A and B are shown apart, each in its own frame.
Chain A
């Protein structure tokens, strides 16, 4: 593991205020396998609950403890032998609990990783197996996933106990079509949103399991992925990305889009696209939205950051000498951007 501080990155200079994205540390996984994901998680290490970084390679998941001055030390590693790891699924307010998805192209298994308080012994258990289409970790140690095909489609909400040893399962009403992604609704903890293959946005009541509404958002944006929703003044503001979106000349390359929906009438209006600055191209590959910040890895290997309120692209992180960026996450506890490359490097930028 090496530590770096202060390397400047390219900032988008055409905005009124320049943002500050500064490299503060670098984690290097010595494993030769391909890196796939990164996140942050609360974990109790030597008796203290602290925010740790968790990284995933094809067959290992590692937990990194923060040392002084932005240095990190690997403290735990879970090993997998049969199915490769695809993604980390954080359960945001949980401690000593995190889920991971395993599979080849599609998710085949979801596993819970945890350690018991007494001996800090690492454990894992199978949470769900099958043909899993979409999954999201929620607050209050909950996980939602959709699985099965059209005829046996099922949406499950699981709640884990504090130690991770047991879980309660509730079934949410199925929209009877493939769900592409789930998103939490900020400010409304019992509401859950989903986008479907047939360009619908669906809303559930997590407490009752009811499917409240299915709303068509237009076929121009097929296969949209919902990242975050905000409820305000009776309206729902939804941030979407379009992995299959084509470049529209008048708008440049819209990577994210903000739409507003009236859930009562199912009518929606475009608010704004979040496009790349002129001279930059690429389509959405991976991304993360936290509060008013959206970050995306593009097919060009660049990371772009937008302020959702201001509408500007605020920073561009070009591929560095180690290679292209392949995944990006906001840290759960502070405004740090975690940017990863396939070779095992994870860079931490303060924003």
Chain B
């Protein structure tokens, strides 16, 4: 798999999605 298949990857996705999601 590469970024072209899956888009930009973030190692901190869990923290980032937590800060973006509605509380």
What residues make up the interface of A, taking CB atoms closer than 8 Å to B? 173, 188, 190-191, 203, 205, 208, 210-213, 231, 233-235, 260-265, 267-269, 271
Contact = CB atoms under 8 A, between A and B. Distances in A.
A193 B8 CA distance: 21
A82 B6 CA distance: 50
Contact of B17 (A203, A231, A233, A271): A203
A110 to B, nearest CB: 28
Interface of B: 1, 5-14, 16-18, 21-23
A210 B22 CA distance: 7
Contact of B21 (A188, A212, A233, A234): A212
Contacts of A233: 9, 11
B21 A265 contact: no
B17 A265 contact: no
Contacts of B10: 234, 264
B7 A262 contact: yes
Contact of B6 (A173, A211, A231, A262): A262
B1 A260 contact: yes
B22 to A, nearest CB: 7
B21 A211 contact: yes
Leading 8 A-B pairs by shortest Cβ distance: A265-B7, A262-B6, A234-B9, A212-B17, A210-B21, A234-B11, A263-B13, A267-B6
B23 A264 contact: no
Provide the main secondary structure of the chain A interface.
Answer: strand
A183 to B, nearest CB: 15
Contacts of B23: 208, 210
A267 to B, nearest CB: 5
Nearest to B2: A269
A261 B10 CA distance: 12
A264 B18 contact: no
B13 A205 contact: no
A191 B7 contact: no
Contact of A235 (B1, B18, B22): B1
A211 B9 CA distance: 20
B16 A210 contact: no
Nearest to B7: A265
A205 B9 contact: no
B11 to A, nearest CB: 5
A193 to B, nearest CB: 12
Contacts of A190: 14
A262 B10 CA distance: 8
Contacts of A269: 1, 5-6
A233 B9 CA distance: 8
Contacts of A261: 6
A210 B18 contact: yes
A208 B18 contact: yes
B6 A265 contact: yes
Given A211-B22, A262-B9, 15 more contacts: A173-B22, A188-B14, A190-B14, A205-B17, A208-B18, A208-B23, A210-B21, A212-B18, A235-B1, A260-B6, A262-B6, A263-B13, A263-B14, A264-B13, A265-B6
Contacts of A235: 1, 6, 9
Contacts of A213: 17, 21
A201 B17 CA distance: 15
Nearest to B11: A234
29 contacts: A188-B14, A190-B14, A203-B17, A205-B14, A205-B17, A205-B21, A208-B18, A210-B22, A210-B23, A231-B14, A233-B9, A234-B10, A234-B13, A235-B1, A235-B6, A260-B1, A262-B6, A262-B8, A262-B13, A263-B13, A263-B17, A264-B9, A264-B10, A264-B17, A265-B7, A267-B5, A267-B6, A269-B5, A269-B6
